[in-house]
Amino acid sequence: MSRERTTPPPWHPQAWADALIQFGRTETAGGVVLVVALLGALAWANLDHHGYASFWSTRVAQRSAAFPRSLATLGDVVDNGLMTVFFLAIGLEIGREVAEGSLRDRRNVLLPAVAALGGMAGAALVYLAAITIIDPHGHAAKGWGIPMATDVAFTLGALALLGPRVPRPLRVFVLALAVADDVGAVVVLALVASTKIHLLWLAGGVLSLGGVFGLRRRVRHLWWPYLVAAVITWYLFARAGIEPTLAGAFVGLLIPVAGAARAGRTLETPVHLLSSYAVLPVFVVANAGVSLTGAVWHSSGAVSVLSSLVAARILGKMAGITLAVAVLVRLGVCGLPVGTTWRHIAGVSLLCGMGITVPLLFAQALFGTTPALFTGAQLGLLVGTVGAAALGGGVLFGARATVPPADAAPTAPAVDHEEKEVEGHADPTD
């Protein structure tokens, strides 16, 4: 006779462990961890700004011809080293979505993909327009790529907090939009963050990726050869002058996950957990610490970047996503997700303006050598994220899902699968 498992009392350590494990599987967990990291970074930077800056600028390696210069300081190790894990998680997620998730069916790809492009374009255009008006003679126009990326951790966390006010198909739409957004962000970062490119090292990186492509046909269950390939590709990218962390995304895309392949499935959960609860919080602490009362307010360039980013994150994202969806619906190419209204679309478009992690990586790559502009970008992303959350949450708070007709066409299998992913164990990092 088997013994029935009893639930431990609330004060028992096992109850706390079970609660933490269950919380870690929810959509809000990653967002909560990032919020705590953000508040910690702001507190540290404002209470001891010199100590904060000194800590992250600590040198960790001596100059060497064989050692990448991108790992010179502790901050560089986080930005150019640890963030490779984050991009590996993105690559794994995109690969899974293409193989068996929401990106497998073209009907589920077109609307969020075009909406993602619209949001990226809208954010970039509004930033360029604002910076041209506010500071036409400055050098901040190159920051147009900073407001493009959507922070999935914050956005999905906000949607989860809104509960039944957000229909499930709309959550699927936002997750698929974020995946497409990640693809676009990786491409843009590769183009704008690279300076002087060394062709021989770049050729080596391309050959390394070609080797991974060939490896995926022969090695479908072992995971460690792909991690070795990611490290090799990272080193070659670093020496080539390409943003080295992108090696994680490209290798992650090539790791087999379809069918009975176990390599991608074995790596996905630990990599996502490591990215969500270790790498991203450390990255936020290392990059989001900005003095709210510093000299940034006396720099016209920094204020221009701040104002332009706020406009781009709130107005540009919302207008770009909503307009892209409206065009496709008007042309009859796609319909709105089941149970949603235009108010829902406007609300989630505003929430997609939330962004700290990847935009900060853009800002570091573009303005890292100009402290005033980088600080302006930090504040702009912070204010823009808070504003987008408040406005998007306010729009969605009073929204109500529409009731689909009884004879409505059944949802595509890929959407059903992704809804389960969103409800159960969606990745909070992308």
Every domain of the chain and the residues it spans? 63-402+412-420
As a dihedral over the C-alpha atoms of residue 168, residue 171, residue 173, residue 175, rounded to 10 degrees, the angle is -140
pLDDT tens digits along 189-240: 777 766 677 889 989 999 999 999 999 888 888 999 999 999 999 999 988 8
In the numeric block, which tokens belong to residue 101?
């998730």
Which structure tokens are listed for 139?
Answer: 């050098």
Task: Enter the pTM of the model.
Answer: 0.73
Amino acid identity, position 90: I
Strand partners, 73: 59
Please tell me the predicted confidence (pLDDT) of residue 232. 95
- What is the pLDDT, as a whole number, of residue 347? 93
Burial of 350 (0-12, 13-18, 19+ CB in 10 A): buried
* Tokens found for residue 288: 């989001």
Whether the CB-CB separation of 45 and 291 falls below 8 Å is answered with yes
Q: Are 354 and 158 in contact (CB under 8 A)?
A: yes
Q: Which residues contact 258 (CB under 8 A, 6 or more apart)?
A: 99, 100
pLDDT at 11: 47
- How many other CB atoms are found less than 10 A from the CB of residue 427? 27
Q: What is the CA radius of gyration of the chain?
A: 22
Gap between the Cα atoms of 169 and 150, Å rounded: 19
> Are residues 309 and 386 in contact, defined by beta-carbon separation less than 8 angstroms?
no
Residue in this structure with the two tokens 């619209």, named with its chain if needed: 118
122, 176, 408 from 320: Cα distances, Å: 4, 16, 29
Helices (DSSP H) in 219-262: which residue ranges? 224-240, 246-254
Hunting for tokens 């997620």 — which residue is that?
93
At residue 59, what are phi and psi to the nearest 5 degrees?
Answer: -75, 135
- DSSP class per residue in 160-207: HHHGGGS-HHHHHHHHHHHHHHHHHHHHHHHHHS--S--HHHHHHHHH
State whether CATH 1.20.1530.10 applies to domain 63-402+412-420. yes
Which 8-state DSSP code applies to residue 378?
Answer: H
Residue ranges in the chain modelled with pLDDT below 50: 1-5, 10-11, 15, 19-21, 23-24, 405-430
- For the record, the structure tokens of 270 come out as 């630990």
pLDDT for residue 33: 84
